[in-house]
Amino acid sequence: MSDKYQSFTQSPLGKILVKNLGLPAPTPLERYTAGDPLVDGTVVVGGTGRLAESLPGLLDTVGIASTAVTEDGQKYKGLVFDATGLSSADQLVALQQFFTPLMRSLASCPRVVVIGTPPEQCSGSERVAQRALEGFTRSLGKEIGRGGTSQLVYVAEGAEAAATSTLAFLLSPKSAYVSGQVVRIGATGTTKAAAVADWQQPLAGKVALVTGASRGIGEQIARVLHRDGATVVGVDVPQAANELQALMKELDGDWLTLDITAKDAPQRIAHHLSTKHGGVDVVVHNAGITRDKKLANMGEDRWESVIAVNLTAPEKITRELLAQKVVNKGGSIVGVASIAGIAGNVGQTNYAASKAGVIGFVDSLKDELKDGITINAVAPGFIITAMTAAVPLATREVGQRLNAMSQGGLPVDVAETIAWFASPGSTAVNGNVVRVCGQMMLGA
């Protein structure tokens, strides 16, 4: 699948029409390839908060070059500003003083990260200033252009050393289609990050369960987790057995064919993981279906099947794995929600309800989990797959252009976000919902 409009805008004729008619001109996004440096260039760091002194060391841990001194004519790949020291509204001018002189010095597909303190941990004027950072970063994400992204990372006090994994993700091409997001580190659960022996393969020795793994987004999740060192156990319906087995054999993984809505599915999955793998470290609830109709025309079967697959099954499977202690200490549970669950969508009341429910499931479990287990969710926007290729042209074009990057995302963009959640270095990242949507203009 490809974006034909984007390809056209890169042609000689397309460039002329884009310029003369003011049409969207989506920048081809840089994406990560195994073995590449995380950041192909230098990141400028600034600010005077809690992380200012430690930032260069955190970035150096994952091989990201940084500097606090800029040179005229030099292009930079990213900007990181520690705003944790801003304690009143009048101090917010520090954002303008740091960023304005540097915005024209950014290379293509740049990354901007602002670090703050969770407002709920502040009071008075400091709380006001820290909450203001969200409006700043979201707006910057919509004006940065050239494939650039802007994020806000709230780091709780005591969790400063746990920010490495998140900074590595947000400053690298792995976060190509993630922008305008707010990430919280250490706000819920532990403030510590587990040690990562090899940042190229952070999941080495880990076991990852992926439902709906035979194709599309699920296939890419399996591939990226395997790239990061995990043994992948793919789950899909019996009808997809051939595709599933072929993929898992290619990845040296394992597979299980079943209907996740079956009454005994949670027990079968738990038994398989316990007996064959001694437990599981990463659980990704990717399997999902759509049965679209406007509510006035929707039958009960359409409603119930979507809720059962997208929401009820992941909840039952997760609770069974936790009850049987199949999820290992420091494990990661990731739900795949959707932008539809946040903004809604015509003809998808059932689907939107199920995906909003996934977000509710994250909220309900984030404070209950023990043994360092985390739960987070990704909420994809318009991702180019075989399913979206069947969407009518006009609807498809609107879906792809109505975001800050004027293009659809790829399945690997969702997979990379999940791999960041799954990393042992992300054990202080808990209870987050991160949209993989190119910063949708509506509802995000």
The amino acid occupying position 362 is V
Helix (H, G, I), strand (E, B) or coil at 154: strand
* Axis-axis angle for helices 313-323, 349-365 (nearest 10): 20
Q: Are 306 and 291 in contact (CB under 8 A)?
A: yes
Cα–Cα dist 153/171, whole Å: 12
Cα–Cα dist 19/39, whole Å: 31
Nearest CA to 235 out of 217, 216, 259 is that of: 259
Nearest CA to 383 out of 220, 257, 141, 225 is that of: 220
CA dihedral of residues 239, 244, 246, 252 (deg, nearest 10): -160
Name the strands in the sheet holding 433-436, side by side, starting at the edge strand that comes first in the sequence: 254-257, 231-236, 207-211, 280-285, 327-336, 374-380, 433-436
Residue where the block lists tokens 């599981």: 280
Q: Which two tokens stand for residue 199?
A: 């940042």
Name the strands in the sheet holding 181-185, side by side, starting at the edge strand that comes first in the sequence: 65-67, 42-47, 76-82, 106-116, 149-155, 181-185
Helix (H, G, I), strand (E, B) or coil at 156: coil
351 is catalytic: yes
The amino acid occupying position 268 is R
The amino acid occupying position 7 is S
Q: Are 198 and 229 in contact (CB under 8 A)?
A: yes
Helix (H, G, I), strand (E, B) or coil at 248: helix
Terminal-residue alpha carbon distance, the chain: 25
Cα–Cα dist 151/434, whole Å: 11
φ and ψ at residue 60, rounded to 5 degrees: -65, -30
Nearest CA to 336 out of 216, 227, 172 is that of: 216
Cα–Cα dist 117/159, whole Å: 10
Nearest CA to 384 out of 369, 400, 398 is that of: 400
* Active-site annotation holder among 5, 154, 177, 351: 351
Q: Which two tokens stand for residue 206?
A: 């880990």
Which residue numbers are catalytic? 351
